Amino acid sequence: MEAREPSSLAEELELVPPELRSNFENKSSSIIPLYLSSNTSHSASSYTRTVYVTFHKTFEKKVVSMDFSESTAFEDISRRARSLFPGSDWRIFSGNPYHSNVEIHSSSEIYSYIKRTTICGFEYLVINLEPIVEPHHTNSEFYAKCDSCGTQIAGRRYKCTMCADFDICERCEAKSVHLQHAMLRISTGLRTEIPGYITMNAPSYVFGETRPHLREEVTIRHLEGETLQ
């Protein structure tokens, strides 16, 4: 569900950096221009766009003023996110933690989510940050390669519950690869217990040759669960 737009002066002021709010509190400030020219040239690259950006991270929120150019907006957002919240690289989503919608990957997508308030007339952008999770390496290694990047899977393995023998690694899962299907997270390369109701109802090609054995065992054990090698 998409976050609703601000409908009052108080709500709009929440989207303004604290040090600039006095400019708008009496609604007497002039509307911020859509483009601020950085030089006398009229080429597209010579213009920047002043936008108030709200960065959400879990329970933290920071609001800053940024000048965007259409060619570098995504890089500017990524750089500012690392500056405001050091110690991690961040995935960037439109919206806030309660209405986080679509992951953003480009400057053109950044521009598509910029909005203008109706009372004060400034432009704003609300984004949600999620850390890029590095793979959790353990001593386990699977006899499987990632069907997305082709590397040997170590750490955690994600198995598609609908595709035939389709597995991805932690790094690709963190990049939202194969979002269209539910994935099983398998944490060890030795033995992982998988509930019988999953193996019983999965298409026959998902678990390969092990499935008939699983079906028989599940029937005997009254759907208590199974262990997949």
pLDDT, tens digit, 9 for 90 and up, residues 167-204: 898 888 888 888 888 888 887 555 666 777 777 777 77
Which residues touch 213 (CB under 8 Å, ≥6 apart)?
none
Are 126 and 15 contacting, i.e. CB atoms less than 8 angstroms apart? Answer: yes
Instruction: Please give the average per-residue pLDDT across 29-41, as a whole number.
Output: 40
Q: Is the pLDDT of residue 109 over 50?
A: yes
pLDDT bracket for residue 214 (50, 70, 90): very low
pLDDT bracket for residue 18 (50, 70, 90): very high
Residue indicated by tokens 């198995």: 159
Instruction: Please give the average per-residue pLDDT across 116-126, as a whole number.
Output: 93
Residue 39, pLDDT score? 38
Q: Is the pLDDT of residue 224 over 80?
A: no
Measured from the Cβ of residue 111, the count of other Cβ atoms closer than 10 Å reads: 15
Residue indicated by tokens 């679509």: 102
Residues of the chain with CATH 3.10.20.90: 9-131
Residue with the bigger pLDDT between 7 and 175: it is 7
Q: What is the reported pTM?
A: 0.55
Q: Which CATH code, of 3.30.470.10, 3.10.20.90, 3.40.640.10, 3.90.780.10, is assigned to 9-131?
A: 3.10.20.90
Counting beta carbons within 10 angstroms of the beta carbon of residue 121, is it exposed (0 to 12), middle (13 to 18) or buried (19 or more)? middle
For residue 83, the Cα-to-chain-centroid distance in whole angstroms is 19
Residue 208, pLDDT score? 58
pLDDT, tens digit, 9 for 90 and up, residues 41-53: 344 444 788 999 9
Are 134 and 184 contacting, i.e. CB atoms less than 8 angstroms apart? Answer: no
- Percent of the residues in the chain that have a pLDDT greater than 90, as a whole number: 30
* Measured CA angle at 180 (ends 174, 181), to 5 deg: 90
Residue 35, pLDDT score? 39
